[in-house]
Amino acid sequence: MMKGQKGAHRVTLTHAFCMDATEVTVAAYKRCVEADVCKLPWEHDPYSMYPDHPDYPVNLVSWSKARVYCAWVNKRLPSEAEWEWAATGPEQNKYAWGNAPEPDCEHADFTQFGAPRSKAGGDVGCHGGGPSPVGAHPKGDRLWQGAALHDLAGNVWEWVEDSLSTFSSAAVTDPLVRNEGSPMHPLRGGAWNRSFGGMAITYRAAAVYNYQVPGVGFRCVRGEAFSSPPPSHAENFGGNGWKKRK
């Protein structure tokens, strides 16, 4: 079950997938840049983690750049439904770690009441401006049969594959929204400069595909390729990450 602008709707996932335990790190992304596959993140920001913070999430990376990296490691971005399932599973808790406690700096890197609009990327967050090293808040982990997914709340927003849309009230199977006419894609999970409300699993944000800011990163999943091509604004992607079905 997922929640959106029109309330809950029933989602069925029929394909297995495996989500990365952490957001993609600077060190991992740098290997892709050095292989002459990935483009550099936007570096002209005081809270850019690239290239000097190898254990931090790479940030200031667009949706298109994120897709290129995931394809390079034979993975892809998660669908929005996959992301939400990984974060909550059948329990449907409010937060990745459960329904309680409410967000604090032991569970996530966030800003209690959000960064001021005048300085959205300012010196805020649990540890000052910018994200934390990946996995630095183990109390906030989502546990799956003894394994842990880190930082599904806070640290950096995470791109998903879908185009942005409102949730339908209809039951759907393996949903993936494609919209050639819209450049917007959802962001999930909140960030270090986001308020406590953004730590809730069902909280959704969105941005244009070429958006590159210090509060946005991504993680990849391994799973069956999508059956439909991405919108044409997925430039420099080379067609990977989806397959035609006969």
* Residue 8, pLDDT score: 59
Alpha-carbon span 129 to 196, nearest angstrom: 16
Taking only the tens place, the pLDDT of each residue in 203-232 is: 999 999 999 999 999 999 999 999 999 999
Q: Looking at the predicted structure, is the pLDDT value of residue 239 above 50?
A: no
Burial class (CB in 10 A: 0-12, 13-18, 19+), 182: middle
Q: Which CATH architecture group holds 20-223? A: Alpha-Beta Complex (3.90)
Question: pLDDT, tens digit, for every residue of 107-155?
Answer: 999 999 988 777 767 889 999 999 999 999 999 999 998 899 999 999 9
Q: Summarize pLDDT for 65-104 with one digit per residue, the tens.
A: 999 999 999 999 999 999 999 999 999 999 999 999 999 9
- Residue bearing tokens 């185009």: 163
